[in-house]
């Protein structure tokens, strides 16, 4: 099954150009990033990389230092880790793995890249619709057990923001030949890390867990993620992919950001506190809009649902330099839905005001 418009959020450059603004003048609530500048320790280490001309050399092909640091960070054997050019590159290779097993089940609506990856390997898949109503108690039990060989889990789920409980996911692992769990947003989600399946990779050889550093450190342009899973299978992925998928800046970034536990704890604490406070404020404001349903979320993005198309509202906001994620390219959603990501306090106030205004026009 092919879909022609597999879209992503975060098209800041395009919108800025159209409105004759700087990218920094756009309020991008279409990509779910944190509103903080990347950490100073990261900027310093990237500056050092420039000063030392570290990029004059090909990166070390085994990525040993980075794997060592990630291994220590999670308390696992570095051979179970494969760093990648963002989680997106590893989603492509997860699709390669899935193509060996048969039919993939994609709980939908979901992140559009899984479908891209499976199409790339001409691998069969089915969409399994998730229930469209859920409460505000997280974590929740994963609600599906569709027939198939492979299942793709996203925790927390994109675009719904539901956090799935580890125990319910362990039951899922037992029912499939292969389980791919994308935890791109887990570390920024308050109480999220407790639900990580990374420790279960010690027990289940059919489990791959994907992680991204994009969201938590606000570094989408650096491209950095990793996968945890069977060393034997990851060796095969490595043989098949580009010889140098990560550049020297991304490697430096990963080493710097994951080697200091105290810094990491403080950084995530600040993010969790921002999510808890701003989510409540934004929900309260948007819930007052007539005929608009604001869906519960565990994390920094959430869905809104209207009785009529939200396309005019999204257009209105776009002309004001505010981007929401339209949902027509998500399976099982349509133009009555939109996904919004939380912003800084000041921008959230503006965002809510303009969303309210968009309903008056």
Q: How far is CA 165 from CA 147, 159, 176, 180, 227, in A?
A: 21, 17, 18, 15, 20
Residue nearest to ligand PLP (CB): 86
Alpha-carbon span 16 to 28, nearest angstrom: 10
Q: Which of residues 181-210 bind ligand PLP (CB under 6 A)?
A: 182, 184
| Binding residue (CB under 6 A) for ligand PLP from 123, 155, 212, 343 | 212
- Comparing CA positions, the residue from 144, 141, 184 lying closest to residue 164 is 141
Phi, psi for residue 155 in degrees, rounded to 5: -135, 110
Q: How far is the CB of 51 from ligand PLP (least distance, A)?
A: 27
| Binding residue (CB under 6 A) for ligand PLP from 104, 108, 117, 154 | 154
- DSSP assigned state of 198: G
| Binding residue (CB under 6 A) for ligand PLP from 68, 220, 230, 336 | 220
Nearer to ligand PLP, 154 or 300 (CB): 154
Residue range at the interface with ligand PLP (CB under 6 A); choices 53-61, 86-94, 238-246, 291-299? 86-94
Q: How far is the CB of 32 from ligand PLP (least distance, A)?
A: 7
Does 93 help bind ligand PLP (rule: CB under 6 A)? Answer: no
Q: How far is CA 57 from CA 75, 90, 251, in A?
A: 30, 24, 13
Nearer to ligand PLP, 87 or 289 (CB): 87
| Binding residue (CB under 6 A) for ligand PLP from 73, 93, 96, 111 | 111
Q: Is the peptide bond before 156 cis (omega within 30 degrees of 0)?
A: yes
Nearer to ligand PLP, 88 or 358 (CB): 88
Does 12 help bind ligand PLP (rule: CB under 6 A)? Answer: no
Does 49 help bind ligand PLP (rule: CB under 6 A)? Answer: no
Q: Which of residues 318-357 bind ligand PLP (CB under 6 A)?
A: none
Tokens of 112: 């559009």
| Binding residue (CB under 6 A) for ligand PLP from 158, 162, 187, 300 | 158
Tokens of 39: 């950490």
Alpha-carbon span 167 to 170, nearest angstrom: 5
| Binding residue (CB under 6 A) for ligand PLP from 30, 88, 162, 341 | 88
Residue range at the interface with ligand PLP (CB under 6 A); choices 85-93, 250-258, 306-314, 347-355? 85-93
Q: Which of residues 262-321 bind ligand PLP (CB under 6 A)?
A: none
Residue range at the interface with ligand PLP (CB under 6 A); choices 64-72, 82-90, 99-107, 166-174? 82-90
262 burial class (0-12, 13-18, 19+ CB within 10 angstroms)? Answer: exposed
Residue range at the interface with ligand PLP (CB under 6 A); choices 80-88, 94-102, 319-327, 335-343? 80-88
CB contact at 8 A, 337 and 309: no
Nearer to ligand PLP, 94 or 314 (CB): 94
DSSP 125-188: EEEEEPPS---S-SSB------SSSEEEEESS-TTT-PPBPHHHHHHHHTT-SEEEEE-TTGGG
Token pair 């899984």: residue: 114
Does 160 help bind ligand PLP (rule: CB under 6 A)? Answer: no
Cβ within 8 Å of residue 70, ≥6 positions away: 78, 81, 83, 226, 254, 258
Query: What are the residues binding ligand PLP (CB under 6 A)?
Result: 86-88, 111, 154, 158, 182, 184, 212, 214, 220, 225
């Amino acid at each position: 099954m092919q879909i022609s418009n597999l879209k992503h959020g975060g098209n800041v450059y395009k919108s800025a150009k159209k409105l004759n603004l700087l990218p920094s003048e756009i309020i991008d609530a279409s990509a779910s990033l944190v509103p903080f500048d990347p950490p100073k320790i990261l900027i310093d280490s990237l500056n050092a990389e420039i000063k030392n001309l570290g990029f004059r050399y090909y990166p070390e092909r085994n990525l040993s230092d980075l794997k060592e640091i990630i291994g220590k960070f999670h308390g696992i054997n570095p051979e179970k880790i494969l760093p990648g050019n963002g989680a997106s590159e590893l989603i492509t290779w997860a699709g390669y793995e899935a193509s060996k097993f048969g039919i993939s089940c994609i709980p939908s609506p979901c992140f559009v890249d899984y479908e891209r990856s499976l199409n790339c390997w001409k691998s069969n898949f089915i969409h399994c619709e998730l229930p469209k109503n859920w409460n505000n108690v997280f974590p929740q039990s994963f609600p599906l057990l569709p027939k198939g060989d492979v299942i793709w889990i996203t925790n927390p789920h994109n675009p719904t923001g539901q956090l799935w409980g580890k125990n319910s996911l362990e039951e899922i692992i037992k029912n499939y030949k292969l389980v791919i769990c994308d935890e791109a947003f887990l570390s920024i989600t308050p109480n999220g890390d407790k639900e990580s399946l990374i420790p279960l990779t010690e027990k289940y050889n059919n489990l791959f867990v994907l992680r991204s550093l994009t969201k938590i450190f606000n570094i989408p342009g650096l491209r950095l993620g990793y996968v945890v899973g069977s060393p034997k299978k990851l060796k095969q992925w490595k043989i098949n992919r580009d010889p140098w998928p990560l550049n020297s800046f991304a490697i430096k970034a990963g080493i710097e950001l994951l080697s200091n536990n105290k810094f990491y704890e403080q950084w995530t604490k600040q993010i969790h506190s921002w999510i808890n406070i701003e989510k409540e404020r934004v929900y309260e404001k948007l819930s007052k809009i007539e005929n608009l349903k604001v869906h519960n979320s565990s994390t920094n993005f959430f869905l809104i649902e209207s009785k009529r198309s939200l396309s005019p509202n999204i257009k209105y906001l776009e002309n004001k330099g505010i981007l929401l994620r339209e949902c027509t390219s998500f399976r099982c959603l349509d133009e009555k839905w939109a996904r919004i990501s939380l912003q800084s306090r000041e921008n959230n106030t503006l965002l809510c005001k303009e969303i309210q205004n968009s309903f008056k026009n």
